[in-house]
């Protein structure tokens, strides 16, 4: 058998031997991640959705993990529209939360992880205690505060016919549980006799001794709130009622108003204010009126300027038919007490105006207005 020998020139053989073996991963590059934006860049205490935008190379999927964990956990994305979309719940604590979001891009060439930090504010807790008028204007108070600072959370505890002395235990419990930054005390004179230990709770008007005891009740509670590190105590009196209504005793109302103002003055602290928000539902001379011209925002909002036309001017009712309250309402006698004013009554201009007037000095005090 004849053998044929093949000979290669030395130069060609050297080239063949010099070519290295190709690695298995040469065609699959490791993914890369670039974060271009985080929106929003921080979260209010109420929480919300965060979108993390960016770009990747050599990635087929992206998955975000969050510490502390959130529920529901983020789902996997294709890395195209967004690297991650995450829902954060409300912050229930008294401190801000810093979240570390790690985004892992996966592709044929392996995995790459990058991280971003997202901060969520702590809620600014405030508390409000009051009677039937507070029941009616408290939704507007809460809305007016949150409209300027969405981190504000207002706890409302109100019931018709009550006064400050009925709420002492609840206030103490709220201080311990929530550590409110501000406390609103909004009471009229109804039921205030219970605060005067030797008085008939239904006696109208109260005696000078009764008023003295009521004033001391307010003074003691204001002192307790200040010791509890409340930054602001806002005392709100009952708005002036209709003097033509024989069931309303103006002397009684004025005595109560004087007692509250004296208690605030005696506290001698810039952290205690007397907020006569009831002026917002009086006429230009500080007198009772059932109607006022519609506000600009009421004129521009369907259904919010629905009162009579007076001297050619669209107006709204700002007081109830009884000459005391802000809106007509049938007070519920059974079941759970409603959390919003004027149920079944619709928009109340009086409740809106007074609630906003209560919120205004609070916002100014903290520099948020």
Pairing of strands 309-310, 182-186: unpaired
- Residues near 268 by Cβ (< 8 Å), separated by ≥ 6? none
Instruction: Give the architecture-level CATH label for domain 32-120.
Output: Sandwich (2.60)
Q: What is the pLDDT of residue 38?
A: 96
Q: What is the pLDDT of residue 228?
A: 94
Q: What is the pLDDT of residue 11?
A: 53
Instruction: Give the architecture-level CATH label for domain 124-365.
Output: 3-Layer(aba) Sandwich (3.40)
d(CA 214, CA 266): 13
**With contact defined as beta carbons under 8 Å apart, do 336 and 329 qualify?**
no
**With contact defined as beta carbons under 8 Å apart, do 235 and 272 qualify?**
yes
Tokens of 354: 């007074």
Q: What is the pLDDT of residue 369?
A: 80
d(CA 342, CA 253): 23
Strand partners, 64: 103
d(CA 38, CA 134): 41
268-272 LR contacts (CB < 8 Å, sep 24+): 269/226, 271/226, 271/230, 271/231, 271/232, 271/233, 272/222, 272/226, 272/232, 272/233, 272/235
Sheet of 232-236: strand order equals 152-158, 124-130, 182-186, 232-236, 272-274
Pairing of strands 152-158, 182-186: unpaired
Cα–Cα distance list, 127 to 85, 116, 148, 173, 309 (Å): 34, 35, 17, 11, 38
**With contact defined as beta carbons under 8 Å apart, do 343 and 329 qualify?**
yes
Domain ranges of the chain: 32-120, 124-365
Dmax (CA) for the chain in angstroms is 139
- C-alpha atoms less than 13 angstroms from C-alpha of 87 in its C-beta half-sphere: 5
d(CA 138, CA 202): 26
Mark the ranges of the chain whose per-residue pLDDT is less than 50: 1, 4-8, 12-13, 15-16, 25, 334-338
Q: What is the pLDDT of residue 118?
A: 97
Sheet of 61-67: strand order equals 42-43, 110-120, 97-107, 61-67
Sheet of 313-317: strand order equals 291-293, 313-317, 309-310
Pairing of strands 272-274, 291-293: unpaired
Tokens of 319: 């007081």
3-state class (DSSP) for residue 48: strand
**With contact defined as beta carbons under 8 Å apart, do 126 and 154 qualify?**
yes
Q: How confident is the model over 230-248, as pLDDT tens digits?
A: 999 999 998 988 888 766 6
Q: What is the pLDDT of residue 347?
A: 85
Tokens of 35: 């974060």
Q: What is the pLDDT of residue 243?
A: 80
Decide: pTM greater than 0.85: no
Q: What is the pLDDT of residue 16?
A: 46
d(CA 142, CA 162): 21
Q: What is the pLDDT of residue 105?
A: 95
Cα–Cα distance list, 316 to 243, 294, 302, 352 (Å): 20, 6, 13, 11
């Amino acid at each position: 058998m004849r053998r044929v020998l093949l000979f290669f020139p030395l130069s060609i053989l050297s080239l063949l031997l010099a070519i290295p073996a190709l690695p298995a991963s040469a065609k699959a590059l490791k993914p890369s991640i670039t974060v271009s934006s985080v929106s929003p860049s921080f979260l209010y205490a109420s929480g919300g959705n965060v979108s993390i935008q960016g770009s990747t190379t050599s990635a087929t999927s992206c998955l975000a993990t969050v510490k502390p964990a959130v529920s529901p956990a983020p789902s996997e994305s294709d890395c195209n529209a967004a690297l991650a979309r995450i829902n954060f719940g409300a912050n229930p604590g008294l401190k801000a939360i810093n979240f570390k979001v790690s985004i892992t891009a996966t592709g044929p060439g392996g995995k790459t992880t990058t991280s971003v930090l997202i901060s969520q504010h702590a809620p600014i807790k405030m508390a409000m205690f009051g009677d039937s008028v507070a029941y009616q204007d408290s939704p507007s108070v809460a809305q007016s505060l949150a409209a300027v600072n969405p981190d504000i959370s207002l706890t409302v505890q109100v019931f018709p016919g009550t006064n400050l002395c009925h709420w002492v235990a609840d206030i103490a419990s709220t201080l311990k549980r929530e550590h409110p930054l501000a406390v609103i005390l909004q009471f009229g004179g109804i039921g205030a006799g219970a605060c005067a230990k030797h008085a008939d709770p239904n006696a109208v008007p109260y005696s000078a001794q009764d008023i003295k005891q009521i004033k001391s009740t307010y003074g003691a509670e204001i002192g307790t709130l200040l010791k509890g590190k409340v930054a602001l105590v806002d005392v709100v009196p009952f708005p002036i009622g209709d003097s033509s209504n024989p069931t309303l005793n103006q002397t009684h109302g004025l005595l109560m108003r004087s007692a509250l103002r004296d208690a605030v003055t005696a506290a001698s602290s810039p952290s205690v204010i007397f907020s006569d928000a009831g002026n917002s539902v009086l006429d230009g001379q500080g007198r009772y009126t059932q109607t006022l011209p519609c506000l600009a925002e009421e004129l521009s909002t369907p259904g919010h300027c629905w009162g009579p036309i007076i001297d050619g001017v669209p107006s709204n009712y700002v007081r109830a038919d009884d000459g005391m309250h802000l809106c007509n309402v049938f007070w519920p006698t059974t079941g759970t007490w409603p959390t919003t004013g004027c149920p079944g009554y619709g928009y109340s201009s009086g409740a809106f105006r007074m609630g906003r007037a209560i919120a205004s000095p609070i916002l100014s005090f903290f520099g948020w207005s």
